[in-house]
Amino acid sequence: MSAQEPKLYGGWRRSRTMGIGHLNTGQTAVVVVSLIVPILLLNIAGMGTLPVTIPVALVVMVLTVWQRHGTPLLSFLGARLRWQWANWRGETSYRGQFLVSPQALDLPGIVAPTKLLRVADATGDAPVGLVWNQRDGRMSATVLLSPAGALLAPSDAQNGSAAAWGEALARLADEETLMGASVTIQVRPSSGQALADHVKERTDPSAPAAARQAVRELVARAPRASAQLAAWFTLTVDPYRSSAHKPRNPAEAAAETLRVLDGVDLSGAGADIVRRATDADLMRLVRGAFSPADMDAPQEQVAAMTWNETGPVAAEDAWTVYQHDGSYSVSWVLREAPRKPVPYDVLLKLLAPGTFARRVTLAYRVLPTDEAAAVVEREVNASDARAEYRRRTQRSTTRRERVDAAHAERSATEEALGAGLVQWSVYVTTTVGDKDDLPAAIREVEKAAKLSGGLRFRYAYGGQAAAFAVGLPVGVNPLA
């Protein structure tokens, strides 16, 4: 009897709008305007304008068409100039000790408007921690996960978990207040002391001497091979989008957020829900990200903290590095999804323990049914428009263009049959305590990324602090 072939997953495509060739609508508009403006000025002011307008138009068109790191060079340079301007104005620096009122700006950068709430629900369970963004009114809630190992699981179980995860995401399309969701896996090396303490607390003094000796030897021989893993699932909710009941105050908004959180069902998706995260859990995760050494702080110390104490005292958001207190972090964002079908364990290399702390976040935005239908139709229409342009210009279709058009048609067909549509991305962050370790940590992540089945990443240029915040359970989701 032959072994069952592993199931492969694929068909992802980058959203594309109408445009000439590989250009999107905005880029096409820039190119067309660059062609028209010299002609208009020629008719108005005469031939004397050509020495100025033609070089400028050519430069703008080249910057628009030429790409760097998967981004048009014009956009890349614009982002660089905006970051440089912010840097000159001191907006990329944070000094918490100089704030007049810490409660007015608890955390740095994009998470500055957040406030931690401690909420008790009607069931009488443990209090739940919610992060409230006071600027836009959104709230985020988190559940702690216990991922189930799949390496020794049969193929049917693996495929069933992947299908269950897809169904869980599809069900979120019915929540009108849901803005986004994210799953974060944090892996960091451990000295082994935590493992030793864990085993010591659970060793039965009356157990056979040989068994106790064997356990002690296992712990002693692997003091540096252990790793600590933490996983959580965060929902970002806008309670004020509810058509049934508009919250009148933060308490009602928190109740709506808990309702959405309680509706999450991850049964069979390869992870068990440990519990809803408390305010202390959230403070530990945030503080542990800014200062990895505090991840193992005693529970009493964490419970005594305030929200502003979870952040750094000082931070510097550089072009490719984020420095927070005595630690340094580098973040990457997904540039391109795998072009070929991949197995379920495509992210295994990125999630495997390494020498340095690493955090991998999958960000999702589940499109509502009506919006999903409009999006897939727009994608198909854009594909047809590009095909018509190629026909009129007598340009042959490339293999990539044919595959992209087939994927657009398949997505539209599946959506029409009831499938959900999800926008997603992946963010990776590595953190070290010594700046001299940064090159080694970067090489470790880049090597793991190359072995991850065609996933291509790029630095979060000029957005290191923002990409760092995406991996925190504070509701920062670029797709939402």
Give residue-wise pLDDT tens across range 228-259. 888 999 999 999 888 778 888 888 899 889 98
**So what's the pLDDT on residue 283?**
94
Model pLDDT for residues 388-440, shown as the tens digit of each residue: 777 777 777 777 777 777 878 888 887 777 777 889 999 999 999 999 999 99
d(CA 379, CA 458): 25
Helix (H, G, I), strand (E, B) or coil at 77: helix
Residue with tokens 């959405």: 260
Q: What Cα–Cα distance (Å) separates residue 124 from each residue in 119, 254, 327?
A: 11, 16, 39
**Pairing mode, strands 139-147 and 128-133:** antiparallel
Report how far residue 31's alpha carbon sits from residue 36's, in angstroms, rounded to the nearest whole number: 9
pLDDT digits (tens, 9 = 90+) for 126-167: 789 999 999 888 999 999 998 766 555 666 777 788 888 888
| Average of per-residue pLDDT across 175-191 | 88
The residue ranking higher by pLDDT, 3 or 312, is: 312
Element (H, E) at 168: helix 155-171
Longest CA–CA span in the chain (Å) reads: 100
Q: What pLDDT sits at residue 152?
A: 52
Statement: residue 24 has pLDDT above 80: no
DSSP strand E in 308-356: where? 314-317, 322-324, 327-336
DSSP letter assigned to residue 9: B
**What pLDDT score was predicted for residue 327?**
93
157-172 per-position pLDDT tens digit: 777 888 888 888 888 8
Helices 73-88 & 50-65 angle (0-180, nearest 10): 90
3-state secondary structure 170-224: HHHHHCCCEEEEEEEEEEEECCCHHHHHHHHHHCCCCCCHHHHHHHHHHHHHCCC
Q: Does the structure show a pLDDT above 70 at 227?
A: yes
Whether 332 contacts 458, CB under 8 Å: yes
pLDDT for residue 2: 43
Which residues, in sequence order, are bridge partners of residue 469?
A: none
pTM for this predicted structure: 0.86
Q: Per-residue pLDDT for 317 more than 60?
A: yes
| Residues recorded for the chain | 480
Nearest to 166 by CA among 429, 412, 453, 422: 422
- CA-CA distance, 358 to 432, in Å (whole number)? 9
Q: For the residues 342-364, what does the mean pLDDT come to?
A: 90
Residue 372 has, within 13 A of its CA and on its CB side, a CA count of 22
> Cα dihedral sign for 81, 83, 86, 90?
negative
Cα→Cα distances 235→180, 241, 422, 473, Å: 6, 15, 15, 9
DSSP 479: T
pLDDT for res 191 = 59
